[in-house]
Structure 1
Amino acid sequence: MKALVVAGVLAVVLAGCSSNSAAQQPGPGVVQQSPTPVIPSTVGGTVPVPPATLPTAKPTDAAVPPEVPEQATAPPPANAGPLTARNLPAPEKLGAGWKTYTDPGGAEAGFIGNNTWTRRRDPHQASYEALPSGCAGQPVNGSLPVPAYALTGSYRTADALPATALLLRFSNSNQAAAYYAGYQARMNACDTGGDLSAKQLWVDTTAAAAVRAYAGAESYVDVSVVHGSTVALLATTSTKPDQQADWARTVVPALEAGMG
């Protein structure tokens, strides 16, 4: 799956999109149909998701791939620790005609649907998959903190295109700032011509917007925000991503409102 960390909103959640690079998305991270940033979608069964029992050594580096997930037989919870649907933007705050979307999950999606629009993610897997991969630019090295909790929400835009929001809650604001800085460094280093190309739309101190374009797939807008101990990644598929700079600025307050 090329996504989203849409998924993770953006898979993306960040997820992903329909590229093996976008497996790091959820988000904003979904994304076959049109690629879903951060979070992909299909139908259910017993599918691979993060294991209920974590490895004996607690993961400490979000830049390192997580353990291969076990097979799951139950859907993930709708909440992640203190993070609930109330921490994610209401769809009308993201744009006229936006709606929440109950993702059915499935084998390709990597999770079993839970009959709601939010789901808990494994923090290590979500934070790793949200990072850009497959870029033509020079890779950025260095470890990144692993969040304590990760929650993703699925949406559909007014044009019925997939979008995802991913919240990463860290133990403290220093860890959140370190992850956000590492995320931005990797996005800035992502050049054009590889499996993934990234183009910055604008950058502020605590928020940024970019366009991610996967080879042979649709592009999507990536909005990233850090506030306190939380990083939010919103990813939405767009037919005109280069024209979404102003829209990206309007959704920052909606993301910050639920970040604590």
Structure 2
Amino acid sequence: MRAVGRCGVLVGVLTVVLCGCSSNSAAQSAPGATQQPSASPVIPSTVGGTVPVPPATLSTSKPTDAAVPPELPEQATAPPPASAGPLTAGNLPTPEKLGAGWKTYTDPGGAEAGFIGNNTWTRRRDPHQASYEALPAGCAGRPVSGSLPIPAYALSGTYRTAEAQPATALLLRFTTPARAQTYFQGYETRMKSCGTGGDLSVNPLWSTDAAAAAVRAYTGAESYVDLSVLHGSTVALLAATSSHPDQQSAWARSVVPTLEGLIDQP
């Protein structure tokens, strides 16, 4: 699941060239002709210096569309909390529920990761940033338009699989089941329309009305099985890196009941 400028100022020197027509020059130099004062060019007071540019104005209205990137990236000035509103580690599966050999993983974060570690395996995410980054990007297939609701809360948990490969679970809690369903359906529509041959290729494995699995493959990078589950007011997105993600269809089906029993608990 994927992560959004500044304006440069060009310093210029204004050169004003005043050219008169030959007939006007003759008239002005003729005996008895009244000399008219020349109009002075308007020269900015900052010639030779930096021309001030008003700062970019950010919208004061609350964002409403998860399909549109946030105006500002998610802040990374302090370790994020381990919970997000009603969402806690208890809403995520324990590693043994996901498979033998699975473990939770405390991500240290860092500059490249874009966040500061909080010494635990769960962390609160900005709901807009998280729900936008989860959508497929770089697809070669037909683009899908349409707005998507932004969740009220977002929480991620990090694991390591039995193969010691990274896995991430993202919970998106919406204010109503209808909004959760709208996001889930929009997410699935985009996944199914992604196609192959782009920076990201998506190969659907199976789908139901409330769950689906697919293989995401990024050019020149790892591939993983992508599981999405809708239950109540919550959407869960589980991505597990695998050397053979196309063989994980049965595993993805097996963990759906576990997710359904946890993700929407208050």
Alignment TM class, shorter chain as reference: 0.7 to 0.9
What is the CA-CA distance between 1:72 and the residue it aligns to?
3.3
Distance 1:148 1:55, change over 3 A: farther
Q: Which has the larger radius of gyration?
A: 2
Partner residue in 1 for 2:50 = none
Q: Does the alignment pair 1:154 with 2:126? A: no
Structure 1, unpaired ranges of 5+ = 6-21, 25-53
The 3-state SS of whatever aligns with 1:211 is: strand
The 3-state SS of whatever aligns with 2:163 is: coil
Tell me which of the two structures has the higher relative contact order, counting C-alpha pairs closer than 8 angstroms and 6 or more residues apart.
Answer: 1
| Aligned residue runs from structure 1 range 200-239, under 5 A | 200-239=204-243
Q: Distance in 2 between matches of 1:69 and 1:184?
A: 25
Partner residue in 1 for 2:190 = 186
Q: Does the alignment pair 1:76 with 2:97? A: no
What is the CA-CA distance between 1:56 and the residue it aligns to?
3.1
Q: Does the alignment pair 1:124 with 2:131? A: no
1:204-247 CA-to-partner distances (Å, cap 9, x unmatched) read 11000000000001110000000000000000000001100000
2:249 to 242, 245, 250: 245
- Is the CA contact (8 Å cut-off) linking 2:201 and 2:218 kept in structure 1? yes
Distance 1:70 1:201, change over 3 A: closer
Which amino acid in structure 2 is aligned with residue 256 of structure 1? E
What is the CA-CA distance between 1:73 and the residue it aligns to?
2.6
Distance 1:142 1:71, change over 3 A: closer
Q: Distance in 2 between matches of 1:57 and 1:108?
A: 30
Partner residue in 2 for 1:197 = 201
| Aligned residue runs from structure 1 range 1-260, under 5 A | 5=1, 22-23=2-3, 56-69=60-73, 72-260=76-264
Q: How many residues align?
A: 211
What is the CA-CA distance between 1:69 and the residue it aligns to?
2.4
Partner residue in 1 for 2:49 = none
Q: CA RMSD in A?
A: 1.5
TM norm structure 1? 0.79
Q: Distance in 2 between matches of 1:214 and 1:77?
A: 30
1:101-124 CA-to-partner distances (Å, cap 9, x unmatched) read 000001111100000000000000
TM norm structure 2? 0.77
Calculate percent identity across the aligned residue pairs.
Answer: 75
